[in-house]
Chains A and B, each alone.
Chain A
Amino acid sequence: MPFINSLTELVHLQEEILQRKREEITSQPFRDGGPEKFAPLALRADQELDAPRGKEIRVVLRNCTLIDPESLDDYIAEDGYQALATVLTKMTPEEVIDTISRSGLRGRGGAGFPTGRKWQLTRNSAGSPKYIICNADEGDPGAFMNRRVLEGDPHSVLEGMAIAAYAIGASQGYIYCRAEYPIAVRTLNIAIQQARAYGLLGKNVLASGFSFDVELRMGAGAFVCGEETALIASIEGRRGEPRPRPPFPAVSGLWGNPTCINNVETFANVPQIILTGPDWFAAMGTEKSKGTKTFALAGDVNHTGLIEVPLGITLREIVYDVGEGIKKNKALKAIQTGGPMGGCLPASMIDLPVDYESLTAAGSIMGSGGMIVMDEETCMVDIARFFMEFIQEESCGKCTPCRVGTHSMLEILTRICNGEGVDGDIEELERLCKVTKTHSLCGLGQGAPNPVESTIKHFRHEYEAHIYRKECPAKVCRALIRYEIVPETCTGCTVCAKNCPIGAINGERRNPHLIDQEICIRCGICIQTCNFGAILALTGEQN
């Protein structure tokens, strides 16, 4: 096992690894399936991460699928740890912070706080020891960018953390990873052990006198732990409840000491900024939002999966170029960004540039990077209810506006979806949104109203249809729809009858079937299983 003592040794090792890889390729070209095995590794791309398309630029995801995440040699071959070695041998902590500041990098966890300034604040804070924490508690439903980075390129995060530790003067780091990601946890543990064995973590890193070690901590399924003060409480072994800020963690964080918390993606950007220079990074993006951002594109687009695009790109370019348009050529209805505390942007805002300021101004947020595209068959009231249910369950209950506000909003939304909405519900929702937003303690409560507010703002007519006409235009809300079999189209194949969970469908083989409306629970399984499109969903007047 090579123990690396300097930048020169690291570069030398990289040469050796590259030479070894070249020899492997030339010495056995036709064994094991021939040259394809050594073809560009983009061949290993999968359902989640494909070759870049449209305007994609890969910075954070550059190594994912290309290197073996369990091989430190692979990472070193891709210039790995050279940024750390450069920082330790040639730069002062102030220079590092200055470089990050000039690059314009902002926190990728969602709030977009300038990373350089956060590091400076933590460095300036009195108190010792200082800590670095990597927030890998990626809990937003529909977001999996961080998981992929941790599973595909764990060393880039460790290297970024080590650089940050040097800049702020910390010697201990923690990665807080959610328990839902067992593979990420395993990969990280392997990576930490390897880095220690090579002398890239631990005491006296690269013989520079700088010591830094990382410990991995696992969450246990609490969404609110992604909030920084709750995360710190969880690492300390307590209930993950947020506390008021200030004091910010940069002043008083883990065990009361100055602590710098950054997201996985923020750290993964750092080595590239050091290696390629802040000007290269600042050249991408808009005036206030620099660089690239990863998004988990999901929902009703043809090409779902991870993407990484320069900030400032429009939603249209993401949906139609990178995402290759809406499935089955249906119409776009809305785009949900920023996870459960984000908002739904209507199709009319398709030319909105994606950066921190524009999204906030439009009533949504950047968030960690979930992006869910919804077609015309999505009920916006139901979506608002879905997110509110999530937030209400995950509300830690510490502060009243969030605990009671989310509960009351969920009650009203559920009622509307059940066809029991009454006049005044929309206005009451708006009032609750305002109170919850302004009075809640942490980002969870403050962001909780966003899905409701944005859907009321842009899709008020759907709320009105539910409440006043008792119809669900998207034909989703069970209480407001019914299913019917078109006798002319039905072939009597019996598939729907077999799949109906409560046996509500009757009929002879080869004869049109009939749904017993008295028993039918409107689960929609029949419409999914019918191969002939013979089942229709009806609502409102048709009902």
Chain B
Amino acid sequence: MATPNHSYALAAPTLKNLEKEYPLNVPEQKAIIDRILETYCDVPGGLMVILNEIQSRVGFISQPVQEYVARVLNVPVSAIHGVVTFYSFFTTEPRGDHTLKFCMGTACYVGGTPQLIQKAEQILGTKTGRTTPDGKITLEVCRCVGACSQAPVVVVDEQLYGRLRPSKLPALIREITKASSNSSGE
């Protein structure tokens, strides 16, 4: 009843395709991925660990990377793709330099996250789930970050900003973009 073999065969990776794709053709990035695979390939149930590591070190898990991981671990690409698409932390596309995550926990929702999102979308001219055209800021909503006593909360990269009002957002975003242009100037 399932359609196992031919979809597997279609998705089987070929080296020729792999070489064209970022980040596997950036030597440093590929070295990172290889090291991760080497470290965790023998850990029981290590796929989650491997994908978590790639996501946090490389930033995203694109289709070619999934194919590469499948080849090294000797499992069907469909299995990897299934896991990557199941969990919301794994992304298949690169993100902006900074990520603005709006907490959608109950306390934050009641405390005004919808208004914050509206304001941020207006300032940045983008939508949630998207990245600004200059690739600097990605807007996202996320699950409760557990900082409910400071609702509403916005998480910028790993830094948490609590009790945020829409009127404070422009300053915050200015600060982020400034930090971003400073660091890229280095």
Contacts and interface: CB of A to CB of B under 8 A. Distances in A.
A411 interface: no
Interface stretch (A28-36, A198-206, A233-241, A357-365): A233-241
> Contact residue range for chain A?
35 or more
Contact of A144 (B90, B112, B146): B146
Contacts of A234: 48
Given A181-B146, A237-B46, A528-B165, A220 B119 contact: no
Interface string B57-92: 000000000000000000000010011001111100
Given A144-B148, A180-B142, A218-B48, A299 B110 contact: yes
Nearest to A178: B143
Given A220-B55, A220-B87, A525 B115 contact: yes
B105 interface: yes
Given A239-B83, A501-B122, A528 B115 contact: yes
Nearest to A181: B146
Contact of B106 (A142, A218, A241): A142
A220 B115 contact: no
A219 interface: yes
A238 B46 CA distance: 10
A138 B146 contact: yes
B107 interface: yes
B27 interface: no
B52 interface: yes
A235 B167 contact: no
A182 B158 contact: yes
A141 interface: yes
Interface in B27-48: 44-48
A141 B104 contact: yes
Interface residues of B, number: 43
B148 A304 contact: yes
A298 B86 contact: no
Interface stretch (A69-77, A278-286, A370-378): A370-378
Interface in A362-408: 370, 372, 374, 378, 386-387, 390, 396
Contacts of B146: 138, 143-144, 147, 180-181, 296
Interface string B145-163: 1111111000000100000
Contact of A220 (B52, B112, B142): B52
A180 B88 contact: no
A48 B150 CA distance: 8
A353 interface: no
Given A220-B89, A528-B165, A299 B107 contact: yes
A237 B87 CA distance: 12
A512 interface: no
Contacts of B51: 220
Say what secondary structure dominates the interface of chain A.
loop
Contact of B105 (A142, A240, A304, A521): A142
Contacts, number: 138
B90 to A, nearest CB: 6
Interface in A225-250: 234-241
Contact of A239 (B86, B89, B122, B143): B86
Given A139-B143, A220-B88, A298-B107, A501 B119 contact: yes
B14 interface: no
B158 A180 contact: no
A499 interface: yes
A277 interface: no
B118 interface: yes
Nearest to B86: A239
A50 to B, nearest CB: 10
Q: In this complex, which of B44, B45, B55, B110 has the most chain A Cβ atoms within 10 angstroms of its Cβ? A: B110
Nearest to B148: A298
A17 interface: no
Nearest to A255: B44
Kindly name the residue among A140, A180, A235, A521 whose own CB sees the greatest number of chain B CB atoms within 10 A.
Answer: A180
A523 interface: yes
Given A304-B148, A523-B115, A298 B106 contact: yes
- For B48, B49, B112, the residue with the greatest tally of chain A CB atoms inside 10 Å of its CB is B48
Given A141-B143, A235-B45, A305 B87 contact: no
Given A238-B82, A305-B149, A525-B118, 17 more contacts: A141-B107, A142-B107, A143-B146, A144-B146, A179-B89, A217-B45, A220-B52, A220-B55, A220-B88, A298-B149, A304-B107, A304-B148, A387-B106, A501-B119, A525-B166, A528-B115, A528-B166
20 contacts: A138-B146, A139-B143, A142-B144, A180-B146, A218-B52, A220-B51, A220-B88, A221-B142, A222-B87, A240-B87, A241-B86, A298-B106, A300-B110, A304-B149, A386-B109, A495-B167, A523-B114, A525-B119, A528-B165, A529-B166
Interface of B: 44-49, 51-52, 55, 79, 82-83, 86-90, 104-107, 109-110, 112, 114-115, 118-119, 122, 142-151, 158, 165-167
